[in-house]
Amino acid sequence: MDAAVLSALWISVKVATCATIACIVPALAIARWLARGSSRGRSVVETLCALPLVLPPTAVGFLLLALLGVDGPLGRRGLGLDLLLTWQGAVIASAVMAFPLVLRGARTAFEEVDPRLERMGASLGLSRFAVWTRISLPLARRGLIAAAVLGFGRALGEFGATLLVAGNLPGETQTMSLLLWEDIQLGQESRAVTLVGLTALLAFVLLFAANRLTRGGRASR
């Protein structure tokens, strides 16, 4: 395996890990609210959060460019962030694309927890935080881990939005998807085959793990 592949593998894993971590906290909070809340705004929020699933990744990348660009509200002249063409920019792009998957999985995981168990916790005097951390989260943990694994997989394969936000800088922002795209463009078929095999293997392992976790969770209930 040549150095470019190893570098792309490392950047992909780094970006996907950070993107998944960045997704988890807001996804947990929103998923919990969607699963248990009764507010009318839920369907609007749910639809908004699902948009990256159906929008072309390049459209999401364009919106992120508008936000993170030099003149954007979060950019250098706005909030002062300088994330374009950096691996952190790739993290943002991957996190936005992975977020709907993590959110859906987390919502399902919370919905499968019997709400009466949470009420029972309240009747025993547990605070909302204690009910959340001692009852809801542990009972939903398998589904939540599965959601995170799927989100990680999605982030690992992210291409369009990442290319627009972070570019394709070897050793800096070049992930496996971007290297594969470059190899296809340049006709480097043998390395492309290696990359396809590697990404397919990673995807299989992640999906297998997510399925096992989800099934195991159902069987143990």
Partner 1 sequence: MICDVVLALDAFELQVSFETEARAIGVFGPSGAGKTSLLECIAGWRTPSRGRVEVAGRVLYDSASGVALDPRVRGVGYVPQDGLLFPHWTVERNLRAADLGRGVPADALATAIEVLELGPLLSRDVSTCSGGERQRVALGRALASNPDLLLLDEPLGALDRPLRRRILPYLVRATEAFDVPLIFVSHDPTEVQAICSEVVVVESGKLVARGNPAAVLGASERAGMDFENLLRGELELDAEGRAHLVLEGGVRVEVPSRGARRGTQALFGLRADDILLALEEPVGLSARNRLRARVERLDADGQDVLLSARCLGPSGAEGPLLRASLTVGAQRELGLVKDGPVQLVFKTQSCHPLG
Residues that bind partner 1 (CB under 8 A): 114, 116-117, 119-127, 130, 134-135, 138-139, 221
Counting DSSP H helices and E strands in the chain, the numbers are 10, 0
Report the distance separating Cα 6 and Cα 94, nearest Å.
Answer: 20
Given the complex with partner 1, which of 215 and 221 has the nearer CB atom?
221
Give me the amino acid identity at 3.
A
Cβ proximity to partner 1: between 39 and 47 the closer is: 39
Residue 143 CB, nearest approach to partner 1 (Å): 13
Query: Rounded to whole angstroms, how far apart are CA atoms 50 and 40?
Result: 17
Rounded least distance, CB 129 to partner 1, Å: 10
Q: Which is nearer to partner 1, 47 or 127 (CB)?
A: 127
CB 216, min distance to partner 1, A: 14
Beta carbon nearer to partner 1, 104 or 142: 142
Query: Which residues have a Cβ under 8 Å from the Cβ of 215 and sit 6 or more positions away?
Result: none
Query: Of 140, 108, 135, 133, which is closest to residue 119 (Cα–Cα)?
Result: 135
Residues 6 or more apart from 220 whose CB is under 8 A from it? 142
Smallest distance, partner 1 to C-beta of residue 76, A: 47
